[in-house]
Amino acid sequence: MMPNRISDTLFQLIHSLEKAEKRNFKLYIKRSSAKEDLKIIQLFDAIDKLPEYDEKVLLKKLPSIEKPQLSNLKTHLYKQVLASLRLLKTTENIDLQLHEQLDYARILYNKGLYLQSLKILDKLKELARSYNQDSFLIQVISLEKKIETLHITRSMQDRADQLTAEANEINERRRIITQLSNLALQLYSWYIKNGHARNEEDEKDIKKFFTENLPPEACKLKGFYERLYLCQSYCWYAFIRQDFLMYYRYTQKWVNLFHEENIMIGVETGHYIKGMHNLLNAHFDLRNFKQFEIALKQFEDFGSSDAANLHDNFRIQTFVYIYSAKINQHFMLGTFAEGLLLVPHIEEKLHQYALFLDTHRILVINYKIATLYFGNGDYGTSIDYLQRIINNNVDLRNDLQCYARLLHLMAHFELGNFEIIEYLIKSVYRFMAKMQNLTVIEEEMFKFLRRSFHVSRKKLKPEFEKFLSKIKQYEKSRFETRSFAYLDIISWVESKVYDKTMSEIIKAKYAQSRRRL
């Protein structure tokens, strides 16, 4: 049933509506539709009551609608719902306000009232500039040029030169913005598919791509969007290469842009949310405990703001990233048991937001929850969550697919399921080798597991000690840190060597780091 539920766009749209939006739709349709069109209200109500989209059930509930009519009625209803939302939401978005004013200017121009049209366009330019909305400026200037070309407006003498200069300046700025936004998008896309750079060859390719596509003198750019996409490009470039210090610097610059131009938080809320998420990730990667705590509090305060709750999209993004950060905080502190108290609420929200969450985000959350259970010693439940990733046949985050399988293997090792471990070692090794995902740490891990899975528990400690001495030397190696980013393997091995829980080992490391401050 789930695929139909997600694939039917009208069902998805109606079930995304809040009570006020549904009420507004009913009022809108009763005002604007003829009596024969009111069938779509019946269709709206019927779909609204369906827990899952099922066309047969829908037609049974609507005896007055024949199957051949249904497709056209659904299309009509979809358009009307969007039209009612547009009227309701006009004041919520600056881009909708700008569009509305531009529409008014065009209507006045078409009526022959071109001086009134120019007056609106002049005010519209000021508004668009104050919100850094260059794409609207292009449309405004285009209409101004059209009016000046076709009519004698008796405007100032150098009007043509001024409009030409404005158009050239904006087009050049848009060219740079397009180049930088393309670069940021392509780097992020590379990360979503592959994860971190696996070796020097990956790093060389990424570096070449980045330098070839970075505009000359990019660091001297002044505009909001140029700097935003520049920060994003450097952010993904650094993150892929695991240069976590550079990653932190550019995520902080990204967030600072919004704090310098506070008005832009309401304009580009999604970019601000993503920036805060990346800043928290950077503090996590660098184990900046205090700064992490400050940024998380700042993000939680934002989560209660009007901007974060204006749209479902922002509310859902904020929820996902705040709880992702909270789980990361438990990883840093070794408080796995306390972290597991978040899981029921997360699961409830994941179910509530199932229509809107992308596969990548769900994979990441499932991996984080699996790691919480593993760290707390509940290996069976950890396996259940890991199976959700392993069984999800999507071409996303090859690295996550690999580490889910490795953690799955380690959980079976902990449970003493030795009858399947030999098969899993071969299977996971083949998978990771195929994905070119084997670092020195993983190679050592597989050597240890092959050597140790048949050794009695009493005799295992010397094997763990050997394994620990080998991997400790790679703790600061950049291409090996990706292994530690997905699972704190060193703390796991130390827990075996020192006969403590992973939680105790990590808590001791945190306490030691606090004493050093």
159 burial level (CB within 10 Å; 0-12, 13-18, 19+): middle
**Measured distance CA(342)–CA(303) in Å, rounded:** 17
Q: Comparing 91 with 314, which gets the higher pLDDT?
A: 314
In angstroms and rounded to an integer, the radius of gyration of the C-alpha atoms of the chain is 28
Average pLDDT over residues 97-109: 92
Strands (E), 93-161: none
Find, among 325, 344, 340, 225, the residue nearest to 285 by Cα.
325
- Reported as a single tens digit per residue, the pLDDT across 159-213 is 888 888 999 999 999 999 999 999 999 999 988 887 788 778 888 999 999 999 9
Q: What average pLDDT does this structure show over 134-152?
A: 87
Judge residue 457's burial from the number of C-beta atoms within 10 Å of its C-beta, 0-12 exposed, 13-18 middle, 19 or more buried.
exposed
pLDDT confidence of residue 141: 92
pLDDT, greater one: 395 or 426 = 426
Domain 342-517 has CATH 1.10.287: no
Buried residues in 419-450 as b, exposed as e (16+ CB within 10 A): eebeebbeebbebbeebebbbebbebbbebbe
Give the helix/strand (H/E) hosting 95: helix 94-110
Neighbours of 396 (CB within 10 A): 17
In angstroms, the first-to-last Cα distance of the chain is 54
Strands (E), 183-266: none
Q: Classify the C-alpha dihedral 237-241-246-247 as positive or negative.
A: positive
How buried is 473 (Cβ within 10 angstroms: 0-12 exposed, 13-18 middle, 19+ buried)?
A: exposed
- Compute the CA torsion angle 176, 179, 181, 185 (nearest 10 deg): -170
Give yes or no for residue 217 having a pLDDT over 90: no
Q: What local confidence, expressed as pLDDT, does residue 366 receive?
A: 94
| Unique residue bearing structure tokens 């509305």 | 100
CA distances for 289 relative to 238, 292, 364, 477, angstroms: 21, 5, 22, 22
Q: What angle do CA 291, 206, 210 make, to 5 degrees?
A: 85
**For residue 411, is pLDDT > 70?**
yes
Cβ-Cβ contacts under 8 Å for 495 (sequence gap 6 or more): 501, 502, 504, 505
Domain ranges of the chain: 2-89, 94-155, 342-517
Model confidence at 367, pLDDT cuts 50, 70, 90, reads very high
| Percent of the chain residues past pLDDT 70, beyond the cut | 93
Is the pLDDT score of 87 beyond 70? Answer: yes
In degrees, rounded to 5, the angle at the alpha carbon of residue 307 between the alpha carbons of residues 20 and 265 is 150
Separation in Å, CA 348 to CA 59, 342, 426, 495, 497 = 31, 10, 37, 33, 38
**To the nearest whole percent, how much of the chain has pLDDT over 90?**
56
Q: In which band, very low, low, confident or very high, does the pLDDT at 483 lie, cut at 50, 70 and 90? A: low
Residue 331 reports pLDDT greater than 70: yes
Mean pLDDT estimate for the chain = 88
pLDDT band at 479 (very low <50, low <70, confident <90, very high): low
| CB count in 10 Å sphere of residue 293 | 13
CA distance 329 to 284: 8
How many alpha carbons lie under 13 Å from residue 488 in its C-beta half-sphere?
A: 27
Q: What b-and-e string marks burial along 101-119, b requiring 16 or more CB atoms within 10 Å of the CB? A: bbeebeebbeeeebeebbe
441, 489 in Cβ contact below 8 A?
Answer: yes
Contact 184, 229 (CB under 8 A): yes
The better pLDDT of the pair 27, 235 is held by 235
- Residue 440 one-letter amino acid: V
The model carries a pTM of 0.82
List CB contacts of 166: < 8 A, sequence separation 6 or more.
137, 141
pLDDT band at 125 (very low <50, low <70, confident <90, very high): very high
